[in-house]
Amino acid sequence: VEGPSGVIERYREWLPIGADDPYVALGEGSTPLVRANALSEKLGSEIWLKVEGANPTGSFKDRGMAVAVSKALAEGATAVICASTGNTSASAAAYASRAGLQPIVLLPAGRIAAGKLAQAVIHGARIVQLDGNFDACLDLARQLADNYPVSLVNSVNPVRLEGQKTAAFEIVDALGDAPDVHVLPVGNGGNISAYWLGFTQYADHGNASRRPQVWGFQAAGAAPLVNGAPVADPDTIATAIRIGRPASTELAIAAKNESGGFFAAVDDDEIMAAQTFLARKEGIFVEPASAAGVAGLLAMAERGEETGGRRITVTVTGHGLKDIDTALGALDPIETDVVQADLPAVAAACGL
Ligand code: F0G
């Protein structure tokens, strides 16, 4: 199937895709690593943002989905299935469609941002909205893949993590070495595990002199890894990380422990404030869940915790346009008065 160059062409020797295997690509990866000037100043550190909203479907999921759908294609699958809080389903729908496979997505009803649902619809996914949360959707997706001819493309499928680890490679390739710290939002625990795999492989291979600490931030109402116990009824405005029983709990804890990092929680107000900070100070519009890492850093600075003198990379995981309802809902209402088309009136309306 191929397509524009993506993570498989760029990092094939690190991925479980053979030279002659079919693969699908939409130009995923090679996302911007943007120096965060305002955030760097606030923390007294050198901070870089890995802007994963720049992927083809607007989130980091495309890296793993390129590899997972390629594998499914090579194994003769005709359909793929996933449970999702929205981004995985958007990505699965796009990559499966490109590969000629039927995407099927299980979603928690009423908890998917409109942009993400639109992606699943427009790419022709079979959409099943469940009366249950993400954790229930994932249980059922696993059972369906065990019992029916459909291939599971959630991150419990290890090839998803293989694809997602390429973001860590790109960071080291761009900076010339691993950062001191890597920060990211955590939901199901897949991405933090993927980054740790990538940083570890690069260090083992001599492409980096060391591995970073990894700091993972969860939403306070959905923080099983912070609490050390599952959350039966997770809730947060950041619907992408509204997860109570992370499938990759063990791998995520190993990444935290082996790196000497930590998990911490940020509340919804901190998440929304970080989203606005990124938009207004750095020029980067991310969805609420994607702001959790930055929210965590800002909260540490606020509390006077030691954040200075380090090189810190932060993954901002998905594009802000995915969920405009939440973004606009957190701000003052938009000025809707219509202004007369004459210069003084328009100048006054412009605040000039
Ligand atoms: N940020 C965004 C925007 C996400 O969509 C997700 C996960 C995460 C962070 C957390 O990553 O689960 O690997 O720890 N979204 C999944 C989905 C659950 O279905 O789209 P994680």
Residues 135, 188 within the same domain? no
Residues of the chain above pLDDT 70, percent: 100
Q: Identify the CA nearest to 238 among candidates 266, 214, 215.
A: 266
Looking up residue 128, the CATH number of its domain turns out to be 3.40.50.1100
With a cut of 90, say whether residue 251 has pLDDT above it: yes
16 located within any domain:
no
CA angle 304, 310, 314 (to 5 degrees): 90
Residues 73 and 174 in one domain: no
At residue 335, the pLDDT reads: 75
> Would you place residue 4 in the very low, low, confident or very high pLDDT band (cuts 50, 70, 90)?
confident
Structural domain contains residue 7: no
Distance of alpha carbon 265 from the chain centroid: 17
Q: Does residue 65 sit within a domain?
A: yes
Tokens of 352: 């000039």
Task: Establish if 336 belongs to a structural domain.
Answer: no
How confident is the model over 16-31, as a mean pLDDT? 96
Same domain, 88 and 215: no
Domain boundary among 116, 133, 157: 157
CA separation for the pair 265, 270 (Å, rounded): 10
Same domain, 76 and 169: no
Residue 236 has a pLDDT of: 98
Please give the residue range of the domain that contains residue 139.
61-157
Contacts of 187 (CB under 8 A, 6+ apart): 85, 218, 222, 240, 241, 242, 243, 246, 289
Query: Tell me: the pLDDT tens digits for 264-309?
Result: 999 999 999 999 999 999 999 999 999 999 999 999 999 999 888 9
If asked whether residues 260 and 127 sit together in one domain, one would say: no
Beta bridge partners of 215: 183, 262
* Residue 106 falls in which region: left (phi positive, over 0), alpha (psi -120 to 50) or beta: beta
Domain check: are 165 and 153 in the same one? no
Nearest atom in ligand 1 to the alpha carbon of residue 186 is 14
Nearest to 83 by CA among 165, 188, 226: 188
pLDDT at 19: 93
- Name, in order, each residue with C-beta under 8 angstroms of 322's C-beta and a sequence gap of 6 or more: 58, 59, 86, 87, 90, 113, 115, 116, 287
List the binding residues for pyridoxal 5'-phosphate. 87, 187-191, 317
Can you tell me whether residue 144 is helix, strand or coil?
helix
pTM score over 0.80:
yes
Give the pLDDT of residue 282: 98
Confidence of residue 194 (pLDDT cuts 50, 70, 90): very high
Note whether 124 and 192 are same-domain residues: no
- Based on the fold, state whether residues 34 and 66 are members of the same structural domain: no
pLDDT of residue 337: 85
157, 185, 214 - which closes a domain: 157
Q: Give the residue from 228, 219, 306, 217 showing the smallest Cα distance to 262.
A: 217
Specify whether 52 is located in the same domain as 105.
no
Pocket test for ligand 1, best of 31, 59, 62, 250 (most atoms within 8 A of CB): 59
Last residue of a domain, one of 157, 181, 197: 157
- The model's pLDDT over 127-152, given as tens digits with 9 standing for 90+, comes to 999 999 999 999 999 999 999 999 99
Distance from residue 337's CA to the centre of ligand 1 (Å): 38
Whether residues 139 and 281 share a domain: the answer is no
| Mutational pocket test of ligand 1: of 191, 263, 314, the residue with most ligand atoms within 8 Å of the beta carbon | 191
Q: Which of 204-218, 231-245, 323-337 has the lowest mean pLDDT?
A: 323-337
pLDDT at 40: 97
4 inside domain: no
Taking residue 324's Cβ as centre, other Cβ atoms within 10 Å add up to 14
Look at residue 297 in the predicted model and tell me its pLDDT.
98
Predicted confidence band at 331 (pLDDT cuts at 50, 70, 90)? confident
Query: Does residue 298 fall inside a structural domain?
Result: yes
Number of separate domains in the chain? 2
- Same domain, yes or no: 129 and 240: no
Q: Tell me the average pLDDT of the chain.
A: 97
In a domain, 348, yes or no: no
Atom 19 in ligand 1: which residue has the minimum CA distance?
84
According to the model, what pLDDT value does residue 333 have?
79
* Residue 350 within any structural domain of the chain: no
Tell me what the mean pLDDT of segment 329-342 comes to. 87
Q: Is residue 269 domain-shared with residue 325, that is, in the same domain?
A: yes
* Res. 224 pLDDT band, cuts 50 70 90: very high
